[in-house]
Structure formats: structure tokens, C-alpha cells
Amino acid sequence: MCYYLLSRVLEGMARKAHKAQLAPSAPGGGSFFPYVSVICWGIVMYLFESDKQVLIPSLQSSMTFLYKDSDKTEGWRDFVPFYIP
């Protein structure tokens, strides 16, 4: 719930900055959420690369899998979408 609220607060702040002409408008007059997402993931990736111990363990594990372990394959079975013993 907290993360949802944080994303909505950041969206609202971006809209307020646009109203005050401190920030450009979102493309097509749409949502600022894609920009909030880019900034958020950029910060997560920076923290992961610089000092991953500051991230919660589940996020550390996910980031390790996505950005480190996914570079390695053990054969064609890694690409089959079901379990083969």
C-alpha cells in the first residue's frame, strides 16, 4: 500500500510541477507514471550496483537473478517453459 501511495504522490508532484511550469508536460497530455518508473528503476539499479546490501533481501535476489545470473545458461533446457527432470 505504501508503494502505491508513493507512486501516486510522485505523480501528483510531477503534475503540480507541470502546472507551475517547472516541468514539461507528459507526452500526449498523459500520465507522468512512466517517468516516475524510469527514475525509480534507475535508483534501484544504481543502489544494486553500488551497494546492494541497502536493498531488501527479496529485491537483492530478484536483481541478482535478472542482471547477473540471467547471462548464464546451461543449455537449451533453460529456454523450455516447463520443467524437464
Question: pLDDT digit string (tens) for 10-35?
Answer: 878 888 888 888 877 776 666 777 77
Kindly indicate the confidence band of residue 65, based on its pLDDT and cuts at 50, 70 and 90.
Answer: confident
Break the chain into its structural domains and give their ranges. 2-70
* Stated pTM of the model: 0.60
* DSSP H helical ranges for 2-78: 2-19, 33-51, 57-67
Contact between 10 and 36 (Cβ < 8 Å) = yes
Collapsing DSSP states into helix, strand and coil, what is residue 62?
helix
Contact between 8 and 2 (Cβ < 8 Å) = no
